Amino acid sequence: MHLASCVWQEKAAGVGMGVGGGRGGECGGGWRRRKVSVKSVASAAGCALNCLVSLVVFSVLDVVDMVLCVVYKVVDYAVEAEWKACYCTAAGARAAHKDVVVGVGVGAPRILGPKVVRLLPPPSPSSSPACCRKMQLEDVSDTLYVRASLLADATKSKPGPGAPALTFSPAVAEMIRGKMDRPPRQAPCWSDCDCKVCHSWSAAPGSASLLYVHVQAPPPAAPTATEDVVFIHGFISSSVFWTETVFPAFSAAARARYRMFAVDLLGFGRSPKPAESLYTLREHVEMIERSVLQRYRLRSFHVVAHSLGSVLALALAVKYPDAVKSLTLLAPPYFPVPESEAGAATQYVMRRVAPRRVWPPIAFGASMACWYEHVSRTICLTICRHHRTWDRLFRIFTRNRVRTFLIEAFMCHTHNAAWHTLHNIICGSAGRMDAYLDVVAAQLSCKVALFHGRDDELLPVECTLAAGARVPRARVTVYDRKDHITIVVGQEELFAAELEAIWRSAAAE
């Protein structure tokens, strides 16, 4: 039997558990105290060991990343005749240059974060290069170029950098400007996969401007009015997270009523992976608008999003407050930033998402992906570029008994896409999440449902509890014995039924 508990039920149970238990006897109480004491000592010893091993491992990775920086520069130049800049070398130039303000927000600039100016290309290839070019501000996260070593953080009285939010060196500005203003590159980088799945977007004319969208529509003779639902996957995933799980689990009535759109986000799955993109929030949202809302003429819709996709879902809801009928968020990456950390909110979120610990393993993986630009590129080179080989080996090893759709989705991206999306969306949204949730709470009337797995080691359940507290009308559900993936995978029919109930309830209001 599956167990799910609502937050308000948990609170009531917690109050009840605090009463009673006073008649256990002195002997029993002493035994329990000794048992708790031994457990506490073991837990403290394990934590200390984890910290010590982590300090050694990540100090080594700091050195390895610097070595890989030089290696990739040489290989990039040898293979592609291009000396590519990177964020770690640009950050090192801070001491040699006077810091400059690239962009300043209004009202709360430290929270809004740094901006860079981008010159948009001409509207058509026939236009003059100097004609019709517009400027726009792009939000970038300072975590791209400010990432203190673990040893440096450990020697500080207060972890994390001071407040680098609004300034960075001309070296960084020049690198980003060059990256964003260069002509679109269709050919993949030597370290990226060029298979038909990963790079199909460059083959067909115009496909580079649209995301891959899986559409499951009701039959033409469906008797009921059709409603639209947009599904947004999480980090290093794709539309198959939905299409291979809950889509087949929906009832016949739901399949006859709802038109469902599952997108591959920019840089993931079968969608475009442009090398010149910074994968900012604006770029992700505009691609969803262009590929789904405008292309299929959606006037009102439900939104279902997982993990990182929750940030994009909130951005869509705030931008289209009258169009969103319901908002369902699974494991949203919401970390309320304390006032003491407000000047460096993105750095605070990065330390929460990637704590630089070797245990649990998922934290170790997140830390390597978030803190080390060149180590993470090496991981992508090893895994993503050769995902077809890994998939074949996995099928042989399991004798084709295990479905591999999650593995395929995990590997179909580039380092450029993953690196920038991780920093510019999850870390860079640190100052926006509060504002988004406040707008949803005060200005939107749509149904809001939040779900989380209690055993989620990537994003703790406190993320969803905090989001629920920010939106009082939200229905918050915590699933027992479920983690970041099994919140959907493994209980597809149950979750599909939950979604159908939310949509029916939204329609009834």
Distance CA 358, CA 329 (A): 29
Q: Is 54 a catalytic residue?
A: no
What does DSSP assign to residue 338?
P
Pairing label, strands 135-139, 115-119: antiparallel
Q: What are phi and psi of 228, to 5 degrees?
A: -110, 145
Q: Which of 142, 228, 264, 456 is catalytic?
A: 456
Q: Is 452 a catalytic residue?
A: no
Q: Where are the beta strands (DSSP E) in 307-375?
A: 324-330
How many alpha carbons fall within 13 Å on the CB side of residue 450?
A: 29
Q: Which of 291, 307, 310, 376 is catalytic?
A: 307
Distance CA 83, CA 61 (A): 24
Q: 346: Cβ–Cβ under 8 A, 6 or more apart, which residues?
A: 113, 141, 142, 143, 165, 427, 428, 430, 431
Q: Is 484 a catalytic residue?
A: yes
- Alpha helices, DSSP H only, in 398-484? 405-411, 415-421, 432-443, 462-470
Q: Is 340 a catalytic residue?
A: no
Distance CA 198, CA 344 (A): 36
3-state SS, residue 137: strand
Distance CA 307, CA 62 (A): 28
Q: Which of 233, 306, 374, 413 is catalytic?
A: 233
Pairing label, strands 4-6, 475-479: antiparallel
Residue 216: beta bridge partners?
260
Instruction: Supply the residues annotated as catalytic.
Output: 233, 307, 456, 484
